Amino acid sequence: MSRKAKTLTLTAEERQQLTQIDERGSDWRERRRARTVLLLDGGGSVGEVAAQQKIHKETVACHRDAWLARRFDGLRDLPRSGAPHKRSETHPQVLCTWAKEEACTASQWRSRLSEE
């Protein structure tokens, strides 16, 4: 039984946005995924793109499938399971303020944070 190859076709605007992400994106994972989609759009097979990028063929296929299902949202990482952050978003700001006021050890900062 043969499987039909999944093809992807980009619009000019999508190609331009993906090129911009590939060249200037801040997340290396998004840049790699954008490059994968661009190479596949350029006519490369999954095997060729995998060899060119030095990644596994299944990874290329996953990037392609994510693009086909979610377009630009498919370039981003999905939420992962695990424990929530142990600090709030305001902790770094509070710690910086305290550090400017006085020098303390890490255990002193920790106990001061728990008190507040």
pLDDT tens digits along 14-51: 999 999 999 999 899 999 999 999 999 988 889 999 99
How many angstroms separate the CA atoms of 54 and 108, rounded?
47
Same domain, 18 and 58: yes
Same domain, 70 and 97: no
* Four-CA torsion 106, 110, 115, 116, nearest 10 degrees: 90
The pTM is what? 0.66
User: The domain containing residue 115 runs over which residues?
Assistant: 86-116
How many angstroms separate the CA atoms of 28 and 31, rounded?
5
pLDDT at 113: 75
Query: Region 61-89: what's the mean pLDDT?
Result: 85
Task: Please name the helix (run of DSSP H) or strand (run of DSSP E) that holds residue 18, with its range, or none.
Answer: helix 12-24
**More confident site: 2 or 25:** 25
Same domain, 69 and 114: no
Please state the domain count of the chain. Answer: 2
